[in-house]
Amino acid sequence: MTVVVKLGGSVITEKDQPETVADDRLAGLAGALADGDIDDLVVVHGAGSFGHPRAAAHDVSATDGVQDAAAIRDIAGTMEALNTAVVGALADAGVAAVPVHPASVAHRTADGALEFPTGAIETLLDDGFVPVLHGDIISHAGAGATILSGDEIVTHLARAVDADRVGLCSTVPGVLDDDGTVIPSITAFSDAAGALGGSDATDVTGGMAGKVRALLALGSPAYVFGPAGIEAFVAGDDVGTRING
């Protein structure tokens, strides 16, 4: 079984505390992934209180670029620091985790199309490693550099590695309706449009609405769930909200 899972930035960091890792939550997620019977695992993580505030401070997003080298270094550096913490937690749990920094391998063309070769990731999987990627800032022809979200990475890699299961671990137990109840299944964005809003923390990648749109574009079923659902997801069970691409 090939699994691509994203650990949301607001799950693995303390979103109200700048650049603070949520050590206990991260360790719990790492342990669940280590205990899963997964042949090939790719982990992607979000930016949380590391990358989002810095990207916002530099006025850079997925569409608005930045030309300042110092700003690019600032954003890339803080994401590498968070990635080091995630890789370390996975390694401590017994996962053969290795870092892969999108800033070094991906770029956007002048029309915004993502160019992201995945040969290295596929080779790492073939040799028994677990690639760990993250939302990042990448070069963008004519625009300097723009943000590549973890959600876009998930959908891109899921296609490349022919993933059997895709999951986004968020701070909520699934996509919630107006009453706070988990929506069990979404087939079109309109199924939950009234309930979807922006994140309650600084997020330059679209919050839950962006997650749902990205998974609907995947073309295969995926899941949005909370930290408590990680074991069920890894075990192959339905959990949280099923997104029917």
Known binding residue 8? Answer is yes
Q: Is 15 annotated as a binding residue?
A: no
150 marked among binding-site residues:
yes
Strands (DSSP E) contained in 135-208 are: 136-140, 144-148, 165-169, 185-186
6 is in an annotated binding site: yes
Sequence ranges of the domains in the chain: 2-243
**Residue 17 and residue 32: Cα distance in Å, rounded?**
25
Torsion of CA 86, 227, 198, 145, to 10 degrees: 20
CB of 241 closer than 8 Å to CB of 184: yes
Six-digit token string for 243:
């997104």
59: left (phi over 0), alpha (psi -120 to 50) or beta: left
219 is in an annotated binding site: no
Please check if 119 is assigned to a binding site: no
pLDDT tens digit sequence for 87-116:
999 999 999 999 999 999 999 999 999 999
Q: Write the pLDDT tens digit of every residue in 154-199.
A: 999 999 999 989 999 999 999 998 888 999 999 988 888 777 754 4
Establish whether 47 is an annotated binding residue.
Answer: yes
- Under a CB-based contact definition with an 8 Å cutoff, are residues 90 and 43 in contact? yes
Report the CATH architecture of 2-243: 3-Layer(aba) Sandwich (3.40)
DSSP one-letter string for 113-152: -EE---HHHHHHHHTT-EEEEE-EEEEETTTEEEEE-HHH
Q: What is the pLDDT of residues 14-71, one digit of tens each?
A: 988 999 999 999 999 999 999 998 999 999 999 999 988 899 999 999 999 999 999 9
pTM comes to 0.91
Report the pLDDT value the prediction gives residue 96, as an integer from 0 to 100: 98
